[in-house]
A and B are shown apart, each in its own frame.
Chain A
Amino acid sequence: MDIILSNVSDKPLYEQISMQIKNLIMTGSLKEGDALPSMRQLAKELHISVITTKRAYEELEREGFLETSTGRGSFVAGGNQEMLREQQLRQIEECLQKAVDLAKTSGISTDEVMDILHLLYEED
């Protein structure tokens, strides 16, 4: 699993892990039903404590991203499309809020901002 941990990040390790796994799920790298490495395996891979990976997995399970069954391991949970969408919408709103704030302080009009938005969407 492609997880890179940063020592200099602002966030504690378990948060970094859960965020990156969430990211992998949301971007589709991890699909519903995919098996995740066990907490111990992941701890060994990343050279961190199993307590940390356990915490990350527990948080992901609480938020509905993972399903863990003893003996079989941890799998990406199904049926969280709604939740993902919600999250993504929330994030977009946050980003746009920042853009709006910036626009207001610089005296840039809503129309100008909308133009940029259209351009960006068409860029694909």
Chain B
Amino acid sequence: MKGLIIKDLLSSKGLLSVLAIGAAMMFFYSFLGIDVTVFVVFFIGLLVSVNMFEFDVRSNWDQLAITLPVRRRDIVTARYIFIGLLVTVALIFGLLVNFVLHPDSNVGDMLFENSIVISVIFIYLSVYMPIIYKFGAMKGRYISMMIIVICAVGGYFLSTGAFFENTGLAILHVLNDIKNYLPYLAMGLAAVCYVMSLCASWRIYEKKEF
């Protein structure tokens, strides 16, 4: 499995420009006092995962990977580890940039926000990756875009619709109450989702034909 992670690492050479732009953006905007870590990390996570899968499809990698002395599961696990690590490293990098350029920021607040952010990203990946495994990189992209659109539209209605005012307020109340535990709950939930997603992807990949 180590070899598979090495492979993804070597493949990301092709994405160096993207990662460099992301890093540059984090520096630049941080100077201006705007924390773009969230967006950058999200898009890095998205872009890298899509591209990793697309590289594989384009080079017909899977039909060879399956003949290597690795289990099909390991091929999936390695991908999950690689993306998870990449997103985490990107986030830590963003945190450090912000902290270095603004040493007076509230560490507690930063960690709170970013734990929610990273949890959301991991939950998103948990939904997204099995979709790619099942439907392929191309279709997976469209499906995930649809999911984003649906969530955005849904979120919009939730926030403005008077219809949902009561439920919305109730939710906000609950969230306020558990404010202190929220980071841990969020990260725990994200971890569970990610592992469940891994198992789902295992099952999908084990049946797949190339």
A/B contact in complex, CB under 8 angstroms: no
